[in-house]
Structures are given as structure tokens and as C-alpha cells.
Chain A
Amino acid sequence: MFSWNERGCRKYQVRMEDYLGAAPEAVESDLELTTHLRGCSRCRESFAAAQLSGRLFSAEEPEVQPSEAFVTRVMASIREEQARLFAPAAVWRPLEALASRFALVAAVVLLALSVFLGEFAPALRQPDMGASTEIAGDWPEPPAQPATQDEVLMSLAEAENGI
């Protein structure tokens, strides 16, 4: 019912909206509109509907009594909001939020890193030559290897004598 495809009807809709509060004579004096209404049943219907819509609003009571309590509440709310926004601590509030987020991210990264190291680090680690030196330091010094035949004989003799 209310889908107007005809371009021509749009300009009459503007005029019908203007005439909603007017007397019937005013509408009748607009010959162009009256002629259109005679020939366009859709506009006729919609004009009648628009007039009925005014009556649907007739029970509305828009008058709102000014209330000093409301004004007081609004101003108190503004002061509260200002205090919250401009308090000295408020300067650091974004940083506080950022710090807590940073701490959370750091904790997650550390956890992930420790898991990674625990799982994969031994396989990736190169043999540590320095460690064998340290171990060797804990054990008794092995006997020096004989370099000559005399030294070999001497060492055999010492072994035989239980030195």
C-alpha cells in the first residue's frame, strides 16, 4: 500500500504533509493536488491514513514539568565525571592499565620461553668442551705417560715395588 514508485507522487506527498493540519477548503483550493488525488487512489488512501495518524497521537502528553532535582542531578553527575577525568591519579590510570597488560604479556612470553627451552634446548645445545675440563678437575690426575724406554722401565719397576 505504501510503496510509492511513481516519481510524481513524491511532490504531492510533500504537499499533503503540509496540508495535514489545514482545513478542507485549503486542500480544495490546491487544484493541482485535488486533481492528482482524484486520479491516484494510492495517494488518496495515504492522505486519509496520514490524517488518522494524527489522532493516534491525541492521547500523548508531552508536557514535562521542569524539575530542579533533575538539574541538580545532572550538574552533580558532571562534577563527578570531571573529578574522575581530571583527578591527578587519572593521569596514571592509562599507564596502570598498560602496565598490567604488559605484565600479563611478559608472563605469557616467559612461560612460553621456558617451555620451549625445556623441550627443545638440550637437542639444540652444542657439546660444551669447557665442562669436561671442569669434570677432569674433580678426578685424580692420571699418571704421566712415559716418553722414553727408560721411563717405561722405571714405571714398571715402580709398579712392581708397589710405589
Chain B
Amino acid sequence: MEGKRLPARSRPEPHSSDAENERRLVRLAQSGDTAAYEELVRIHQPRLLAVVGGILRRNQDVEDVAQQVLVKAYLSLKRFDLRSAFGTWLYKIAVNECWDYFRKKKVRRLVYEADLSEEQLRQIEVVPAHTGGASRSREDAGSRALQRQLLDRLLGELDETDRSMLVMKEVTGFTVEEIGKVFGLNVNTVKVRLFRARGRLVEAYHRRLERRPGSDSRRS
């Protein structure tokens, strides 16, 4: 078992003054102040793009979907009752918008059915622990790109919720509490779902390794 895990990319919890400032901006925006909403867009833009990008997996429509999320949020801002943080509400809209995108476009299978070539899979062998190649992969931009491609395909084998939760936790640095608020689940349920989703992800990874011709069992 590996004890040292790559640092989680987390965003510090907003200070209470930040939270208060955000509530003030939301109230102003609710009364029609577009400059206040513009400020909210500026604050949440990086994280929103990371969430949408993480779920859509570098799809060319990431910015369009994120833009659609922000327009939708603005148009229904009057219905937002400030009981939760604006960000939680916004990311909930974002996750739903991403799922709608997949349903409308029906792209998920088309994108992820295509498999990696033999050569690509051979290069991605840097990932598992027994190869000891994680640092090598970090040095090699090409390998990193391939590793991202592999992850795209592995995530494509998970269901929408598992996939979104894992991306939010591992890529965007959401805390389990934040994920719970977005999905309306308690913290322990989020932890269990994340834990099981990780298992399914690695299971998919092992299946891929085993499908390779001439491969022996690579499980550690």
C-alpha cells in the first residue's frame, strides 16, 4: 500500500468576510445589478470551468456549457434563496447541465468507445505502482497526455454521479462536505460512493490491461 498520496488540489474554505461579500453580491445581482453578477462570474469562473472541464473531459464545448450555466443561473437568480452558498447552487446547475449535455448530444459512448492503441497503452504503463514510474510520467509531457486520455476512457465507464464526484474531489479539489451539498447527500454517503467509485475506476483500468494481447495479470 502506498502511504503518500499526491497532494489534493483543494481550495481553502472561503473566509466569512468572503462569504458575506458573496452574499452581498448575490443580493445586488438579484435586484438587477449586472456588475455585481459580473463579479460573481469572475470569482467562480476558474472553479466552474474546472468542474465542467473535468466532467466533459476537455471537450471543445466546455466554455459554451459553462457560459450556459452562468446565463441560466442569472436568469433564475431571483429564485435562489441564499440558504446555501452561491457556489454550491451554481455547481449543482453545472453538474446538471453537463449531464444534460451528454444526454442531448449522446456523445459519451461515441467519445469513449474508441480505445487507445497498443502503443499508447504500452506508454501508459507508467501509472501503476508496481512499475514505479509515476515520477517518470510527470517528466514526460507526452506520457501525461496519454495518461489523461486513459483517464478519460476509464471515467467514461463510470456512471454520471460517480464520475462527477470523483472529478470534483480529485481534479477540482472539492471537499466531501461541498460534494455532499451539491448532490444533496450526507458526508458519509459521499465518502462511501467515492470509495466505491475509485474501486470501479481501478477495476476498469485492470480490465484494460488484461485485454491487451500477451498481458499477464498485472494486479499488485
Contact = CB atoms under 8 A, between A and B. Distances in A.
A122 B93 CA distance: 64
A68 to B, nearest CB: 8
A74 interface: yes
A10 interface: yes
Given A46-B195, A71-B42, A78-B74, A54 B6 contact: yes
B37 A51 contact: no
Contacts of B8: 21
Interface string B140-167: 0001110110110010000000000010
Nearest to B42: A71
Interface string A41-82: 000001111111111111110111111001101110111010
Q: How large is the interface on B (under 10, 10 to 19, 20 to 34, 35 or more residues)?
A: 35 or more
B27 to A, nearest CB: 18
B113 to A, nearest CB: 20
A20 interface: yes
A53 B201 contact: yes
Contact of B75 (A2, A70, A81): A81
Given A2-B199, A60-B148, A81-B75, A54 B170 contact: yes
B110 interface: no
Interface stretch (B17-25, B43-51, B79-87): B43-51
Given A51-B1, A51-B2, A81-B71, A17 B195 contact: yes
Contacts of A27: 1, 3
A20 B172 CA distance: 17
Contacts of A95: none
B192 A67 contact: no
A4 B3 CA distance: 24
Interface of A: 1-2, 4, 10, 13-14, 16-18, 20-25, 27, 46-60, 62-67, 70-71, 73-75, 77-79, 81, 85
Given A66-B45, A73-B63, 7 more contacts: A13-B192, A53-B198, A56-B202, A60-B148, A60-B171, A64-B46, A70-B67
